[in-house]
Structure 1
Amino acid sequence: MSTERKILLLGSGFVAGPAVEYILRRPENHLTIACRRVAAVEALTKQFSRAKSESLDVTNEAALDEIISRHDLVISLIPYTYHPLVIKSAIKFGKNVVTTSYVSPAMKEFHDAAVEKDLIIMNEIGLDPDIFDVESKNSIHRFFFFDLNFSNSTMSTERKILLLGSGFVAGPAVEYILRRPENHLTIACRRVAAVEALTKQFSRAKSESLDVTNEAALDEIISRHDLVISLIPYTYHPLVIKSAIKFGKNVVTTSYVSPAMKEFHDAAVEKDLIIMNEIGLDPAGGKIISFISYCGGLPAPECSNNPLGYKFSWSSRGVLLALRNSAKFYKDGKIVEIPGTELMSSAKPYLIYPAFAFLSYPNRDSTPFKEFYNIPEAQNIVRGTLRYQGFTDFVKVLVKIGLLDDSNQNYLQFNSPEISWRDIIAKVLSTSNHTEEGLREAIKSTITENEISEGEIERILKGFKWLGLFSDKPVRRCGTLLDTLCATLEGKMQYEEGERDMVILQHKFEIELKDGTRETWTSTLLEYGKPPGPSAMATTVGTPCGIAAQLILDGVIKKRGVLAPYIPEINNPIIAELEKEGIKVREEKL
């Protein structure tokens, strides 16, 4: 495109960098970064000739309206509580919006207005389990056995076969088809690189790039072949069948016959064609009976050198507040609820790779994802958080003694007398013994017998000392215990120069096949930061955000309304672009 595109990015957090870099690869894109403190983004905007900054208070409706009216698309990286203000203004001026936040009830209320104005309000773009397509697991293909004899006799006439798709099913199908010397195969998929290793193994196989939603391109490639094998998601089969009937070509799929496919029956009979479906062992992959998804943004192991095994790459307040959330999920078909006060006690070891000692705990409400992911048979659905071992017990003690309390305390106000952590701990524990030994004993008394091992308690107390919580030096008073603790943690637990972070995400699917047997598959992402470049967290949140913005600008995403990436129409193009950026998952059968 040569037409100039004006993009507005609201916010100045660490995520902004990768998003800006991705967006400004396109010469037609011009970017304005708007935030309360322009100085926070000056270093970033100076790196790009087509980026500038402006000061903005998003709670000022007139100022927000004015700046949004001047741009073509809005990317909102500000706290989610302000998104409704942004969406309201964007709809007023007919502008699309991208956010990295969950769809809150307040945001959902704008859905009808967005649809009415033919707008996209794209949310939940970034590091999130949902971005990696769950629905594709509903159509996992296992073993692919079929005979493509065109007659009972061996044929010497060259046959041109088109195979659509690049999944793991393709390999066995290709090998079988090319046993016959008259068969020549074209594998067509959106990302040719995905099948290059396969086509190089066979002299009569080649690859072509194809977007099956491009009717003209699909017609052209089908017209050049004698038979079509469709291994793409079943929702696209009607497009393939329609084109194949137009040009008199037979079709083979591994999917069940959907109502949309069944509608082509009479036309196929009239043209004396075969549209063969449900070929293979359990072509639809059975049903998902368990979906477990855990994600962690952590220091790389060599940088996890503090008592919590954690460092802050974003708001410490947000991290700590999340530790008080209640959780809700499905287990064995029943809803389980865990109050926030018991969240850390619910943590359990979780094995992904033996080199990592992870603990997992559920994150907020996972129950709506049965509907979002269209997995009604699932008996277990949990989305949760990963931390290194030792984190949850440490936090449990912080909670027990009240340090995550966010209510105002008179003695922590800015104009109150100076106070040390030693005196604060004594105050919250109601003890008159302000010595380190006295405070240690008071903390131990809050822990129930056998709740935490003696060795672990000693490690935690040493951690308190490392943080300065037994110190007699004056603290930076921030109004509440939570915010005062945040100030201390941020001073001690930031990433040092040259240290790298790590993002790990794993989906685990248990699938029940039609014969009653079960299979377990995992889909795992492991990403490290690249000092002095962007962190893994910034890359996995900011890059998808930039991609989503560009796809909207290019008209790739057709759906309208307040959206989240739960469907292939949205996921697939984002995943394809992420893989080009080197962000990809590894799938394994356990």
Structure 2
Amino acid sequence: MKTILVFGAGKSATVLIDYLKDVCAASHWQLVVADAHLLTAQSKTNNHPFAKAVEVNVTDADERRMLITDASIVISLLPPHLHIMVAKDCVAIGRSLLTASYVDADIRNLEAEIKSKELLFLCEMGLDPGIDHMSAMQLIDGIQAKGGTITSFKSHCGGLVAPESDDNPWHYKISWNPRNIVMAGSAGAVYKLNNEIIQTPYQQVFENCEELQIGALSPLAWYPNRDSLSYIPLYNLQDAATFIRTTLRYADFCKGWDVIVDLELTDEKDQSLVASCKTFADWMEQKLFKAEQRDISFRMYLELYVEETAHDKILRQFDYLELNSVELLPHHVTCSADILQYRLEQKLKLHTADKDMIVMLHEIDYTVHQQPHSVKSSLIVTGEDNLRTAMAKTVGLPLGIAAKLILDEKIKLKGLHIPTRKEIYEPVLEELALHNILFHETMQ
């Protein structure tokens, strides 16, 4: 019997596990869901006859390897820094591995061994990265097949709150890893714009974010993602004058988050400052003093550094998070990023009936026989509730579909890959469409 092993049963796993339970029932395979908390895994497997939940300490080599040895294929939804332990065991034992995370240097160092053992490691197989790669490559390959030359490529994606559940001044609710939200943009960004390489430091990532309109949604703003340049050769777009991958938010979010970054409220290395604070108000006071080297109110800070039209909105955002409260700081926090994450998880959580929303947009300019053309391809997916979220659906389903296709030997690739190859993206996108994950194109 073929066995699919899933490490991690957190926020993004619900829809994946539900999908794999159906797959395993239809094919008489076994699904094993391994998590640090047995009750969490059991809540997802829910006594399904073809699924079982197990508790695992993923840092315990013996526990980890025993599960991998019994598996036919492995899916890791663990935090990215834990993937490498699973990956090394998969190489040693001889099992293919799927993740939704970026290919990092540690995984890249395994590439030769993965190839020599004829395994498939398929990374970046979620939403962004994942569906963005597949849908973009389908467009790019189609344009190039008809003799087109792409001059500009822009790809935007964001996990947002659905309009009907948007009830706070940040216009945002958490549908995935909260620490990743806190640290978004912290690596800065580099991209190509009109044949110029643009490098944006963290302190400027959220400044003056450009806005765009998608369907009937409220205006959205985008900020650049990490390293767009590394994807240029993977997309075979070396001649494009513009190449940029971005994250979408509602416009007000970017204005408020720019202030959070400027005040260093996401700092992970200010333990001594945080240790000197008893309350949230103490913390904000210290941060404002550090920014100005003098006593200053938050309103005065805004008057000095933020455009007047945004003052009231940003004040409402900070008031909503109660960042100036006399409430005692929780005992577990050791740095500013901890404090901010604590508040976001309190104030911006998805409630039971809340719905999230995924929005993606590709904008491509190209020429065919010297004639200019453009295409916009958009995706909007709305979640069902705070468990079966649009995020869980769009991250989980590509992983599940790929696992099924690999076990059915419909994807036969070997080596280390992301889903830019036609033999991956065609069947996966075809099945995603059956789950209402559909792109809509407009041509000019």
Aligned residue identity for 1:318? N
Distance 1:294 1:119 in 2: 32
Residues 344 and 393 in structure 1, CA contact (< 8 A), matched pair in contact too: yes
- The CA RMSD over aligned residues, in Å, is 2.1
| TM-superposed deviation, 1:526 | 0.5
Are residues 1:137 and 2:134 paired?
no
Residues 350 and 386 in structure 2, CA contact (< 8 A), matched pair in contact too: no
1:504-550 Cα offsets, whole Å, 9 max, x none, are 00111101111x22111011111000137611010001111100111
Q: Secondary structure at the match of 1:429?
A: helix
Identity of aligned residues (%): 29
Equivalent residue number for residue 368 of structure 1: 230
Equivalent residue number for residue 471 of structure 1: 325
Superposition map of 1:133-532 within 5 A: 133-140=136-143, 284-410=146-272, 412=274, 419-430=278-289, 442-447=297-302, 449=304, 452-477=306-331, 478-514=333-369, 516-531=370-385
Equivalent residue number for residue 62 of structure 1: 62
Equivalent residue number for residue 279 of structure 1: none
Distance 2:229 2:340 in 1: 33
The alpha-carbon distance between structure 1 residues 347 and 70, as it changes in their structure 2 partners (threshold 3 A), is same
Q: Secondary structure at the match of 1:503?
A: strand
- Structure 1 portions without partners, runs of 5+: 142-254, 256-283, 432-437
Structure with higher RCO (Cα < 8 A, 6+ apart): 2
| TM-superposed deviation, 1:136 | 4.0
Aligned residue identity for 2:392? A
Distance 1:370 1:410 in 2: 42
Distance 1:586 1:524 in 2: 5
Aligned residue identity for 2:46? K
1:230-254 Cα offsets, whole Å, 9 max, x none, are xxxxxxxxxxxxxxxxxxxxxxxxx
1:69-123 Cα offsets, whole Å, 9 max, x none, are 1111110000121212111101111111111111112111212211111111111
Q: Secondary structure at the match of 2:312?
A: helix
Distance 1:351 1:447 in 2: 28
- Structure 2 portions without partners, runs of 5+: none
Superposition map of 1:88-107 within 5 A: 88-107=88-107
Equivalent residue number for residue 190 of structure 1: none
Distance 2:386 2:354 in 1: 9
Are residues 1:7 and 2:4 paired?
yes
Distance 2:271 2:136 in 1: 46
Is the deviation greater in 68-77 or in 352-361?
A: 352-361
Superposition map of 1:72-111 within 5 A: 72-111=72-111
Residues 58 and 64 in structure 1, CA contact (< 8 A), matched pair in contact too: yes
Distance 2:246 2:78 in 1: 23
Q: TM-score, normalised by structure 1?
A: 0.70
From the two aligned structures, give the one with the greater helix fraction: 2
Is the deviation greater in 50-59 or in 484-493?
A: 50-59
| TM-superposed deviation, 1:405 | 1.0
| TM-superposed deviation, 1:139 | 3.0
Aligned residue identity for 2:191? F
Equivalent residue number for residue 189 of structure 1: none
Aligned residue identity for 1:505? M
Is the deviation greater in 18-27 or in 69-78?
A: 18-27
1:360-401 Cα offsets, whole Å, 9 max, x none, are 111001112221011222110010011001111111111222
